[in-house]
Chain A
Amino acid sequence: MKITIRVNGKPRGFDVEPNTLLLNLVRDGMLLTGAKYGCGVGECGACTVLLDGESVLACMVLAFDADGRNVETIEGLGEYDSLHPIQEAYLEEGAVQCGFCTPGFVMSTKALLSEKSQPTETEIREYLKGNMCRCTGYVNIVRAVQSAAAKMKGPG
């Protein structure tokens, strides 16, 4: 079946089977390999992408449910020489260790900061509880979100 998805701002057409999962379309069909396959059952958050601005688990979304909608992945955020403030903050705060969970965390952070520009630590921990880091870097991740919030607010 034919579907059209706006991926990181660019509309793209695909011919998918009904059983195609959005994550496999993103990774294998578009070669955007930032979003990761982790647990497959909705517990780890490694496959988090934004669907019309809201965080969802791409490994549990059927591709046809993204038809006509906006999909944002980590690749849409910044380039090597011009990182998004959230990416900068994660690097500066040492919130990236093995990196497997990072794209999911960064996309959840983007959704959080678009809903609430200056969240409290409790709000950050609550919002990010669907993303797991097995290098146990949560303290630095929370700091990174706070730092990103400050950067995006700008001076004053």
Chain B
Amino acid sequence: MSINTHNTHIVNGFAYHAPTSVAEATKLLDEHGVEASILAGGTDLVPKMKQAILKPKHVVNLKHIPELAGVREEAEQIRIGALTRLRDLERSIIVTEKLPLIHEAITAIGSVQIRNMATVGGNLCNASPAADSAQALVALGAKANIAGPKCERSIELESFFTGPGRTVLGRGELLASLTLPYPEEGSRGAFIKLGRTSLDLATVSIAVNAKMKKETVESIRVVMGAVAPTPLRLRNVEQSLAKKKLTVDAIEEAGKLVSESIKPITDIRGTAEYRRVASKGLAMEALTRILDGSRRDK
């Protein structure tokens, strides 16, 4: 085998599977269990295989299952297939018109090349606490639809993540799609990401989605990235803002509460202290954008 000092090759061999139906895929995943890795866009799996961090004996490519890709409008909800490439998601007219928050979050991910390859399901299943698509999807109330060898199940996306790199997916299961309710009248969102460079993972990020009545918050979701082991929904902040008029003081107060409520760590991208200060600023900026937007609406 080739010398692989610079990770130019995948040294380990594997059996390759290209199922064409979800039933076939879940059967294969069930059969091979922990020895199988799912291949979607490959932007996470392939580098890990090159660095021999992962050495799967079986690779199950999901890209030949047509029903897993694409964005569709259904009667009560919008469905996003897990294998939808990020670039297709950001260019979808349904997304730009009905879910602009998703468009904003997705275009903040990586580079054009990465978005041409990576899929939304892959971004979620890697379960990085900093994955940019997760916060926006949770803020919009997305459900994760999971297919398994025996049955299907739907859970709230916020309960999908169980820790860094870990999800609720069990043996044989795969993330098939996400479903989102149509945004309500007066609903508006903001996504902000702080990173060392625009290509990097987030040091801190926030997605807010609020239903506004003039300058008053009817209901709101506040979700932060890279400040806890999983994308973090701040219910206490949401409750404190509900039915409140967004004044300068209320925004300052909410920013303080956000900063106190996160559970940041120090890592190569930033210190815990930095994340606490930055998260206050991000929250205030996001709420100010929402307020400005609802003022323009009048």
Least distance between A147 CB and chain B CB atoms (Å)? 21
Known contacts A42-B47, A56-B113; decide if A18 and B42 are in contact (CB<8 Å): no
Question: What's the Cα separation between A45 and B117 when bound, in Å?
Answer: 13
- Any B CB within 8 A of the CB of A7: no
Which residues does chain B contribute within 8 Å of A24, judged by CB atoms?
Answer: 8-9
Contact B16 A1 (CB under 8 A): yes
CB contact between A55 and one of B9, B43, B116 (< 8 Å): that residue? B116
Some 26 contacts from A to B, beta carbons below 8 A apart, are A1-B16, A17-B13, A18-B13, A18-B14, A18-B15, A19-B13, A21-B8, A40-B7, A40-B8, A40-B47, A43-B199, A45-B111, A54-B87, A54-B116, A55-B116, A57-B43, A57-B113, A57-B117, A60-B117, A62-B42, A64-B16, A65-B42, A111-B112, A112-B112, A130-B110, A130-B199
Contact B39 A129 (CB under 8 A): no
CB contact between A130 and one of B13, B39, B113 (< 8 Å): that residue? B113
Contact A108 B12 (CB under 8 A): no
| Interface residues, chain A, with chain B CB atoms under 8 Å away | 1, 17-19, 21, 24, 37, 40-43, 45, 48, 51, 54-57, 59-62, 64-65, 108, 111-112, 127, 129-131
Q: Which residue of A lies closest to B115 (CB)?
A: A130
Question: What's the Cα separation between A127 and B111 when bound, in Å?
Answer: 7
**Cβ-Cβ contact count across A and B, 8 Å cutoff:** 89
Mark each residue of chain B from 224 to 246: 1 if its CB lies under 8 Å from any CB of chain A, else 0: 00000000000000000000000
Contact B6 A61 (CB under 8 A): no
Contact A18 B47 (CB under 8 A): no
Question: What's the Cα separation between A60 and B110 when bound, in Å?
Answer: 14
Least distance between B83 CB and chain A CB atoms (Å)? 13
Least distance between A68 CB and chain B CB atoms (Å)? 11
Contact A42 B110 (CB under 8 A): yes
Contact B112 A55 (CB under 8 A): yes
- Any A CB within 8 A of the CB of B278: no
